[in-house]
Each structure stands twice: as C-alpha cells, then as structure tokens.
C-alpha cells in the first residue's frame, strides 16, 4: 500500500497551490473567531466565503436565512503560514472540530489517498465528489479518529 505524490507533476499546474494544513470548524461563531485571531496575531483574513454565496444570484434556494451568513470557508494568513476556518451549521464537538486538509492539483493522488483512508473509516462526512469550487472535495474521519479533508483542484 503505497501512495506517492509527485511534486514535479503538481508544480506544472500553475496558479493552484499545494496545501497541507489545519482546518478548524466552529459552532456558528467563525466570524467572531476569525476577527479575534486576526487581531491577536495581526494576521490577514483571505478567501472569505459565506454559505449564502452558494445560492443562485437571485437568492433562491433552500438554505435557511440563519445559515446564509455563516462562514463557508476562510483563511487566516500569518507569516507565510495559514489556518483554514469554517462554520458548521450543525453543532460540532470539541476535539472533532479540526481536520487535516490536503489540497492538490493531482486528482489521481487525492482519489487514491481517499480510497485508502475511506476503507475502514469511522465516518464519511462528505463523499469525494465534484463541487462548485473544486474538481473533487470530500471529508472523513479515518479508522484512527483523525478528520481529513481532501480537495483536488484539477
């Protein structure tokens, strides 16, 4: 069982970074946490998206009004490092509100790694599938209780 990532192949895809970082999930108070941490560390908030941004431009959709202002995704950048953030519309449990996030340009590597970790996983939160922001995205809790998020950009 070997999954080997080819950095040279990935670097040929310009414009998309390779990321291996932490992803924190909050109980509907992500905006407050982002502002707090940005102030404490004098860090920059980037890529801020809200759940409401997923709706069609006419505002139609089945997303409850109370969830539209929740943070779907954000990055806090500090001294060349970053931590990603989001709100959970459902209540998350402390200790289960952090994931290791891998974002690559190599869909094949993402799929292979997903397949290994999904086998025997304690829970699949979101199947690896195409999304509006990536070629494929999915999240799971592996057999050791570690939360993972995988995103293939190409």
| DSSP calls for 112-153 | HHHHHHHTT-SEEEEEEE--SSSSEEEEEE-TTS-EEEEEE-
Cα Dmax for the chain: 48
Q: What is the pLDDT of residues 69-128, one digit of tens each?
A: 999 999 999 878 888 999 987 777 766 788 888 888 989 989 999 999 899 999 999 999
Q: Given this model, what pLDDT does residue 145 score?
A: 82
User: What do you get for the CA distance between the two ends of the chain, in Å?
Assistant: 24
Instruction: State the pLDDT confidence band at 9, using cuts at 50, 70 and 90.
Output: very low
**pTM for this predicted structure:** 0.66
Options 1.10.490.10, 3.40.225.10, 3.30.720.100, 3.30.460.10; CATH of 18-57+66-92: 3.30.720.100
| DSSP calls for 18-52 | -EEEEEEEESS-HHHHHHHHHHHHT-EEEEEEEGG
* Bridge partners for 137 per DSSP: 129, 151
Q: Given this model, what pLDDT does residue 17 score?
A: 63
- Higher-pLDDT residue of 132 and 7 is 132
Q: Given this model, what pLDDT does residue 71 score?
A: 96
So what CATH class is 93-154?
Answer: alpha beta
- Structural domain spans, the chain: 18-57+66-92, 93-154
Same fold, 18-57+66-92 and 93-154: yes
In angstroms, the CA 128 to CA 106 distance is 14
């Amino acid at each position: 069982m070997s999954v080997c990532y080819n950095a040279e192949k990935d670097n040929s895809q310009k414009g998309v970074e390779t990321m291996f970082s932490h992803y924190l999930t909050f109980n509907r108070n992500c905006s407050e946490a982002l502002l707090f941490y940005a102030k404490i560390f004098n860090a920059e908030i980037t890529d801020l998206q809200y759940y409401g941004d997923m709706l069609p431009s006419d505002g139609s959709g089945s997303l409850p009004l109370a969830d539209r202002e929740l943070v779907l995704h954000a990055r806090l950048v500090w001294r060349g490092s970053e931590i990603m953030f989001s709100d959970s519309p459902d209540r998350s449990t402390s200790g289960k509100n952090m994931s290791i996030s891998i974002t690559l340009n190599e869909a094949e590597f993402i799929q292979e790694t997903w397949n290994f970790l999904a086998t025997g996983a304690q829970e699949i939160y979101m199947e690896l599938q195409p999304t509006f922001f990536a070629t494929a995205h999915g999240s799971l809790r592996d057999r050791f209780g570690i939360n993972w998020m995988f995103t293939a950009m190409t």
